[in-house]
Amino acid sequence: MEIREIYLNLKRDVQKVSDFYARFNLRLEGDVDYLIAVYENDVIAGVGGCAGNVIKGVAVDESFRGANLFGTLISELVSRNTACGYGNTFAFTGPCNDKYFLASGFRKLEDSSGKVSLFEKDKKGIDKYLSSLKPVPGERVAAMVVNANPMTRGHEYLVRTASEENSVVHVFVVSEDRSLFAADVRYQIVAQTCAQFDNVYVHHGAEYMVSGMTFPTYFLKDSDDINQIYTILDARIFGHYIAPHLGITHRYVGEEPLDPVTAAYNRTLQQVLPEFDVEVCVIARKKYRDEVISASRVRQYIREGRIEELEAFVPQATYDFLSSDDAAEVIAKVRQSDSRH
Amino acid sequence: MEIIKTATAGSLESSDVLVTVHKADDLEIEIDSTVMAQFGRQIKNLVEATLEQMGVSAARVVVEDKGALDFILKARLEAALFRAAESTDYSWNRGGAS
Amino acid sequence: MKLRRTMMYVTGNNAANVKDPQIYGADSLMFDLEDSIAVANKDAARLLVYHTLSTIDFSPCETVVRINGLDTPYGHEDLRAMVKARPDVIRLPKTETADDIKEVERIVSELESEYGYEQGTIKLMAAIESAKGVLNARDICVASDRLIGCAIGGEDFVTDIKTTRYADGVELLFARQMIIVACRAAGIYALDTVYADINNEEGFRAEVEHIKQLGFDGKSIIHPRQVRIVHEIFAPSEQDIDHAVRVLEGVRRAREKGLGVITVDGKMVDGPIIDRAARVVAMAEASGIKVEG
């Protein structure tokens, strides 16, 4: 048994691994930082990879008897992750592989209708995250999860509404660094803007706010609704761990008249969260001159170089950032991209 | 010795032990063993003694034991600690790698 | 008379393997820190072998550690750790010149001093794995009093001379013979290379017969089931044992009478013949055969 890295820039390696995946009706996941394969006598017996500290793309040929292929693969992935400096390793997997991750010392966090399970290597990972979130007593505790890429007056309006309607509000900023605006910048802006409300507390989402951006899909069928599956997972983790810890009973989201993906996201939350005694409050979006203020609209203005005109759309903290030298890189990135995010 | 990052050593194979060391504010030791009832206490003692020998006063040490003998646990723990401290200051002469 | 019919490789970073390899009955155990250990685990392997050797008594097996070369980032630390742990022998890979051995000897000597061990406690072994090494075998074999033997590293050697290993071993013939001759001239042991295909018993037996014929003292082993086969093939015949016992008896009588020349059955008997007789008796006894005298 030998472990070799798949060189993703070499056609021969990519072909070998695609052929391997195809045998199990799986797709080669595009979004991986690296892929490794376990070879038995020069033949690929198993493959697995990582994107950041998330294990993905794991597939093993079970016909190779007597070798602990899965265990070896996962151990190697965790080892490499740790050597990269990650304190924890996560894995999304089809439930048929649950037993392997459990045997490799992972803890199962949640699953999504039997389609996807989320595991973490550090059995106290989520406990440590929760202990960093201080519960604040209040008669009615609410929460919202925002990407805020960048934060707009629309986000601010949602926070203000929640602040007025609840004793305590917890705002989680998604920590995934796949958005145009870096996670720490987004967090700072949200924290600065929310300071005006004395009952609002801002937190990092860390790895426990599942985002569709790193969500692996290679083991799902074409007919599966990927967005719904990861939204259910995200909602279940929120409902199972975060809501009870902070005493959250209400989750605030902005109404989504335009984007079908976000609209579906809201609908799924409304289906899942009541199971955890959390009510979803859908708030109509703030408008500016009859148009909904959205982060994508703000990015459009940035693309068109109309930053001064943004004052009406974004809170002071966002505007200050965009006018600063630090924003030059982000503005350039926005100009070059045309992604939804 | 100061722990500055997360590191692991060993494996979950039979007779071995996987030791993970994380940076922490004080000393936390978590042990999970296939022979917990008989050897849990002994494992904890060995971990504590090794940490003291190596001058580690703050770390979170997670031990996943699959029936490793004492000297194997010591070897894996020391390896994880040196990696977590990014240190190569082995002192073989002092009766231990500390 | 130390027998080295089998030297079994033990992967230095494998807990299940290092804790009780002596149960397989090999004459020597070689704990590997070199080629079987991934770069990322060199440190962990070193610590595991260090603690293993410092804790467990592997007798009657001889303990050998294959360190990384001194030209790698690991070799020097390996020596510091392993001299302290005191295996019987330290094996240096990819030995090309007598100076390679002298350099290791110098460091081992210093370390023995530092650790308060008697000078000469730890022996050395050289692995010859390249064309240059083979040509220098003669000088390598006499480079140090600590050197107890040489091994040939077949896989690396054939790569160096730009061929691959074949079943009949013709490509290794010259190297094997050169090393045997150099070892014999120096009066030290000669050990053959590994046979990688653990499922091919027939092929393995053929190779063992071949290297026994060439004159090797033993073979490097990578799987327990190879041990038994080598010991079987190297076991002396009844005739060999008979003759060996007579030779040793002849020696005993000559010594008793204070004679300068030893004769057995009318023929003069000298060093190499006596050595061989001792070796045959040792192998017979190791195979569980009762030998009188």
Give the pLDDT confidence score for residue A179 in this predicted structure. Answer: 75
When pLDDT is cut at 50, 70 and 90, the band that residue A338 belongs to is: low
B77 touches chain C (CB under 8 A): no
Strand pairing category for C218-221 and C6-11: parallel
Q: Shortest Cα distance from A87 to chain B (angstroms)?
A: 5
Contact partners for chain A, using 3 or more CB pairs closer than 8 A, are B
Residue to substitute from B3, B4, B12, B21, interface A, most A β-carbons within 10 A: B12
pLDDT category, B98, cuts 50, 70, 90?
very low
What span, in angstroms and rounded, lies between the C-alpha atoms of A83 and A34? 14
Q: Do B5 and A105 touch (CB under 8 A)?
A: no
* Per-residue pLDDT at A260: 81
Task: Give the pLDDT mean for A275-283.
Answer: 95
Report yes or no: B20 and A82 within 8 Å, Cβ to Cβ: yes
Q: Taking residues A100-121, what's their average pLDDT? A: 91
Buried b (16+ CB within 10 A) or exposed e, C149-172: bbbbbbebbbebeeeebeeebebb
B79 to chain C, minimum CA–CA distance in Å?
5
Which carries the bigger pLDDT value, residue C129 or residue C266? C129
Name the interface residues of C facing B (CB cutoff 8 Å).
Answer: 14-16, 18-19, 43-44, 47-48, 50-52, 54-56, 77, 80-81, 84-85, 114-115
Q: Is the pLDDT of residue A340 over 70?
A: no
Q: Which of these, A240, A230, A213, lies nearest to A108 by C-alpha position? A: A240
Task: Quickly count: other Cβ atoms within 10 Å of residue C183's Cβ.
Answer: 27
Question: Using the beta-carbon criterion (under 8 Å), do B6 and A123 form an inter-chain contact?
Answer: no
Chain C residues with CB under 8 Å of B89 CB are none
Q: Count the Cβ atoms, other than its own, within 10 Å of residue A184.
A: 12
Contacts of B17 in chain C (CB under 8 A): 15
So what's the pLDDT on residue A341?
53
Q: Is there a contact between A249 and A140 (Cβ–Cβ < 8 Å)?
A: yes
A78 touches chain B (CB under 8 A): yes
Nearest to C66 by CA among C38, C99, C31: C31
Assess whether pLDDT exceeds 80 at residue A66.
no
Q: Is the pLDDT of residue A169 over 80?
A: yes
pLDDT digit string, tens, across residues C236-258: 988 899 899 999 988 988 888 88
Q: Kindly determine whether residue A124 and residue B5, on different chains, have CB atoms separated by under 8 Å.
A: no
Amino acid A297: pLDDT: 82
The dihedral over CA atoms of A133, A139, A140, A146, expressed in degrees to the nearest 10, equals -30
pLDDT-derived band at C6, boundaries 50, 70, 90: very high
User: Stretch A309-313: mean pLDDT, rounded?
Assistant: 85
> Does residue A102 or residue C288 have the better pLDDT?
A102
Contact state of B71 with C44 under an 8 Å Cβ cutoff:
no
Our CA-based measurement puts residue C102 at a distance from the nearest CA of chain B, in whole angstroms, of 23
Task: Kindly write down the DSSP assignment for every residue of A18-86, as one continuous string.
Answer: HHHHHHTT----S--SEEEEEEETTEEEEEEEEETTEEEEEEE-TTSTT--HHHHHHHHHHHHHHHTT-
**Is the pLDDT confidence value at B97 over 90?**
no
Q: Which of B11, B31, B61, B66 to mutate to test the interface with A (most CBs of A within 10 A)?
A: B11
pLDDT digits (tens, 9 = 90+) for B82-96: 999 999 999 897 654
Q: Name every chain B residue with its beta carbon within 8 A of the beta carbon of C33.
A: none
Please report which confidence band the pLDDT of residue C190 belongs to, taking 50, 70 and 90 as the band edges. Answer: very high
pLDDT tier for residue A213 given thresholds of 50, 70 and 90: low
Cβ contact A82–B11 (<8 Å): no
Percentage above 70 pLDDT, chain A: 95
What is the reported pLDDT for A114?
84
Q: Which of A71, A79, A124 sits opposite B8 (nearest CB)?
A: A79
pLDDT, greater one: C94 or A313: C94
A315 upstream amide cis, omega within 30 of 0: no
Query: With contacts defined as CB-CB under 8 Å, which chain A residues touch B81?
Result: none
Average the pLDDT over each of A45-54, A207-216, C116-125 and give the range with the smallest value.
Answer: A207-216
B72 touches chain C (CB under 8 A): yes
* Contact (CB<8Å) B92/C84: yes
Query: Are the Cβ atoms of B62 and A104 closer than 8 angstroms?
Result: no
Per-residue pLDDT reduced to its tens digit, C30-83 = 999 999 999 999 999 999 999 999 999 999 999 999 999 999 999 999 999 999
Above 80 in pLDDT, residue C218? yes
Rg of chain C on CA atoms, in Å: 20
Tell me the pLDDT of chain C averaged across its residues. 94
Q: Does A87 touch chain B (CB under 8 A)?
A: yes
Least Cα separation, residue B89 to chain A (angstroms): 19
- pLDDT at position C56: 96
Structural contact between residues C72 and C131, judged by C-beta atoms closer than 8 angstroms: no
| Confidence (pLDDT) at C36 | 94
Chain segment C79-88, per-residue pLDDT in tens: 999 999 999 9
pLDDT tens by residue, A175-189: 887 778 888 999 999
Q: What is the mean pLDDT of residues B63-69?
A: 95
* pLDDT surpassing 60 at residue A46: yes
The b-or-e profile of A95-131 (16+ CB within 10 A means b, else e) is eebeebbeebbbbebbbbeebbbbbbbbebbbeebbe
Model confidence pLDDT, tens digit, residues C163-176 = 999 999 999 999 99
C266: pLDDT confidence band, cut at 50, 70 and 90?
confident
Q: Which chains have 3 or more CB–CB distances shorter than 8 Å to chain C?
A: B
CB pairs under 8 A between A and B: 33
Out of B13, B22, B64, the one facing A87 most closely (by C-beta) is B22
C293 confidence band (pLDDT: 50, 70, 90): low
Contacts of C84 in chain B (CB under 8 A): 92-93
Residues in chain C with CB shorter than 8 Å from the CB of B50 are none
Average pLDDT over all residues of chain B: 92
Q: How far is B6 from chain A (nearest CA, A)?
A: 5
